[in-house]
Amino acid sequence: MSVAKRVISFHYTLTGADGEVIDTSRDSNQAFSYLEGLSQIIPGLEKAMALLNAGDKRKIEVEAKDAYGEHDDQLIVEVPKAKLPNSDKLEVGDQFQASGPNGEMLLFRVLEINGDNVKLDGNHPLAGEKLTFDVEVMDIRNATAEELAHGHAHGPGGHHH
Ligand code: ZN
């Protein structure tokens, strides 16, 4: 990799398939900053952002497969309540990490509690959704050696140490 990595700062408003605003950086004056090439933002957005220049405003549509993935019915599982941590205090909507079918760590949400069993969903809440990002590129600069060593952007919108 001889290409210099860049730090890109941008404002965004994220809307879901139904047009509902899911998240926005406009609530604060702080643009979001990321270091290129490290999958710090979803793949479809990173690919589109790489072609933009500072000052550009774009509406970027990202299909589910390039965002949080397709919805996977196999990640909806029913397990005995007793197998879960804090089983006596479980509530619908609770989240916890557990290994998925391929051994990868997934965040599971409690969908239903049915007596001694609990129905869990290991899909990302935005899985299966086509997302739209209204972006404005605020700044693009080369990453510093320190940022490259740490693997994240520093300064406004990035990490503070
Ligand atoms: Zn750092």
The amino acid that residue 96 corresponds to is F
Ligand 1 centre to CA of 152 (Å) is: 6
Number of domains in the chain: 2
In a domain, 160, yes or no: no
Instruction: Based on the fold, state whether residues 142 and 112 are members of the same structural domain.
Output: no
**What pairing do the DSSP bridges indicate for beta strands 57-62 and 131-142?**
antiparallel
Instruction: Based on the fold, state whether residues 87 and 17 are members of the same structural domain.
Output: no
Tokens of 118: 């609990």
pLDDT of residue 137: 98
The conformation of residue 115, written as its DSSP 8-state character, comes to T
The three-state secondary structure class of 118 is: strand
Taking the CA atoms of 67, 70, 71 and 75 in sequence, report the sign of the dihedral they define: negative
Angstrom distance (rounded) from CA 151 to CA 52: 22
The amino acid that residue 22 corresponds to is I
Ligand 1 centre to CA of 159 (Å) is: 6
Ligand 1 centre to CA of 40 (Å) is: 14
pLDDT of residue 3: 63
Instruction: Based on the fold, state whether residues 108 and 88 are members of the same structural domain.
Output: yes
Tokens of 6: 């860049």
pLDDT of residue 84: 84
First to last CA, the chain: 27
Ligand 1 centre to CA of 43 (Å) is: 22
* CATH number, residue 16: 3.10.50.40
Ligand 1 centre to CA of 57 (Å) is: 28
The whole-number mean pLDDT for each consecutive block of 10 residues of the chain, a chain of 161 residues, reads 81 95 92 94 97 98 96 93 84 88 87 94 94 98 95 90 87
Supply the range of the domain harboring residue 48: 6-67+127-150
In a domain, 156, yes or no: no
Instruction: Based on the fold, state whether residues 134 and 63 are members of the same structural domain.
Output: yes
Q: Are 1 and 143 a contacting pair, CB within 8 Å?
A: no
